[in-house]
Structure 1
Amino acid sequence: MDKFETVKCDINGGVARITLSRPQSMNALNVQMMEELLTCLQEVSRDNQVKVVVLSGKGDAFSSGGDIKQMLTGLDEQQFFTVMDVISDLVTTLYKMPKVTIAAIHGAAAGLGLSLALAADYVICGDQTKIAMNFIGIGLIPDGAGHFMMERRVGEVKAKQLIWEGKVMSGLEAEAIGLVDQTAEESQLAEKVDQLIGYIKQKPLKAMIATKKIYAELQEAKLIQSLQLEKQAQLNMRQTQDHQEGIQAFIEKRKPVFTGR
């Protein structure tokens, strides 16, 4: 699938390895990457030869999150809703796809990048990887079903506190609270992923996928509602003084001064 510029996909032996490929931007998710990734995931979902999907990032990071530079160009309301709809389709496709999915995180996974990773069935990361749901730093809330994904892994109260804090965690810290499933030394990450693939391929995959489909159907209404609530709340947050201050502070490389407005 070399037709994509920002996403690479290699299919071999029933395994699709999908790589986010904007290394010069730490794989920040711009509109092009989100659209290409969505198309790639949809095609892989329909490929009956694929049993396991591995999502990773090229270069120094998994993904630094949404592309703030693109955000600064100023999306109007219609463009904003269009982008949010792509994000919704992207996360829903990954969460529901009839394959066993693995997110292999190295370097960093933040914001929307973390929401995306948490949609996978297994999340494996390097022990020194930096993990952050850091929307709060620019006066926004998680999107990409970040609320849903965090809650299903650590529970509502802990998810809420992590979102409010926006803390940067190491892979080991994230594993300790159940946000990710396994950690490995950065140099051993690929080997750890291959071991998991080998384990999965020895299992009765039809039974595994049947279980996945049952959970996906049980949770589908909640996932859709979460995405809808995030879309409207994110639009509201983009109009706050705190968000404008957060963006300005980001540009000026200083600590923001929030006023709750």
Structure 2
Amino acid sequence: MEKQYETLKVDVQGNTVWLTFNRPESLNALNLQLMTDLQDALNEIKRDSDLQVLVLRGEGKGFCSGGDIKGMLKMNGEEDFQHFMKVINDLSVTLYTMPKITVSAIHGAAAGLGLSLALSTDVIFAEEQSKLAMNFIGIGLVPDGGGHFFMQERLGTQKALHTIWRGEILNGHEAYSMGLIDKVTAEGRVTEEAEAFVQTINHSPVKAMMESKTILRGSRKAQLEEILEMEKEAQWRMRQTNDHMEGIQAFAEKRKPVFRGN
């Protein structure tokens, strides 16, 4: 892969590609450009048969703080919204069905849509002081990017529902004890852990591993796509609510929102 991206670093090491979200000034918030760059890079990786492992990580102080709220506020009407959600949905399906072994290496924040993307990968490592949150509820919205689907897969319906409702920030140990992630590492060690995992893969029958992934993911793809469509419709409805307006205003004013259920 020789293509350069403004919002994404691409580093190929043997059979492994490291993709690094590169908007550290915004804690790698997912604006339209970053998501478009990511989709383009994933399409290239998908076509490259020499690449067997993909690792996602974030530049700077965190993995990804979620969707770029400032960017969302600039959207004009339903047409912009539909385009934005299509990009999100395409990303989730592409990552979930990627014909590679996919890894998320989390440090700092992995929130909202950032957490949804991490959950779409096969293996999640997170540092013990990471801050993982499916926190759409804080601005009166529902998870997107397949958040409902991935939480349900990892936690079961009941735990997923309660976790989404609470929108709590979880550290690495809390997320691991729930079954949300696969391994906790010491602070500053997540890249090292991901590198060790890559070495393990290099001595594994990757083709057999990928066959199992194809079977399991393939059997669930249609349900993921159905939930993504439901999330898109629900998100549009929630964007019209007073609670969402209050959530956004409170976020901008750095205060606690006062929700009224309407």
When normalised by structure 2's length, the TM-score is 0.98
- 1:159 counterpart = 2:160: yes
The structural deviation recorded for 1:9 is: 0.8
The 8 Å contact of residues 106 and 126 in structure 2, kept in 1 or not, is answered as yes
Measured in 2, the distance between the counterparts of 1:188 and 1:56 equals 13
Q: Where does residue 89 of structure 1 map in the other structure?
A: 90
- 1:221 counterpart = 2:230: no
Point out 4+ residue stretches in structure 1 off by more than 4 angstroms.
none
CA deviations over 1:209-253 (Å, ceiling 9, x no partner): 110110111101100001000000000000000000000111111
- 1:7 counterpart = 2:37: no
1:68-217 alignment to 2 at 5 Å?
Answer: 68-217=69-218
Q: Where does residue 29 of structure 2 map in the other structure?
A: 28
The structural deviation recorded for 1:187 is: 2.0
CA deviations over 1:32-66 (Å, ceiling 9, x no partner): 00000000011001100001000000000000000
* Greater Cα offset, 124-133 or 65-74: 65-74
- 1:253 counterpart = 2:261: no
Measured in 2, the distance between the counterparts of 1:69 and 1:210 equals 41
CA deviations over 1:146-204 (Å, ceiling 9, x no partner): 00011100111000000000000101100011000001012221211111111112111
Q: Percent identity?
A: 50
CA deviations over 1:120-141 (Å, ceiling 9, x no partner): 0000000000000000000000
Measured in 1, the distance between the counterparts of 2:215 and 2:146 equals 19
The 8 Å contact of residues 62 and 105 in structure 1, kept in 2 or not, is answered as yes
The 8 Å contact of residues 75 and 81 in structure 2, kept in 1 or not, is answered as no
Gapped runs of 5+ residues in structure 2? none
Task: Give 2:100's aligned amino acid.
Answer: K
Measured in 1, the distance between the counterparts of 2:20 and 2:48 equals 17
When normalised by structure 1's length, the TM-score is 0.98
**2:110 counterpart SS class:** strand
Measured in 2, the distance between the counterparts of 1:115 and 1:98 equals 19
CA deviations over 1:64-90 (Å, ceiling 9, x no partner): 000001112243101100110000111
The 8 Å contact of residues 2 and 8 in structure 1, kept in 2 or not, is answered as no
Task: Give 1:86's aligned amino acid.
Answer: V
The 8 Å contact of residues 112 and 144 in structure 1, kept in 2 or not, is answered as yes
Gapped runs of 5+ residues in structure 1? none
Measured in 1, the distance between the counterparts of 2:181 and 2:167 equals 16
Measured in 1, the distance between the counterparts of 2:74 and 2:99 equals 37
Count of residues in correspondence between the two structures: 261
Task: Give 2:76's aligned amino acid.
Answer: L
* Greater Cα offset, 1-10 or 215-224: 1-10
The structural deviation recorded for 1:2 is: 4.7
Measured in 1, the distance between the counterparts of 2:19 and 2:89 equals 19
The structural deviation recorded for 1:3 is: 2.4
Cα root mean square deviation, aligned? 0.8
**1:56 counterpart SS class:** strand
The 8 Å contact of residues 245 and 257 in structure 1, kept in 2 or not, is answered as yes
Task: Give 1:91's aligned amino acid.
Answer: S
**1:186 counterpart SS class:** coil
Measured in 2, the distance between the counterparts of 1:72 and 1:59 equals 25
Q: Where does residue 55 of structure 2 map in the other structure?
A: 54
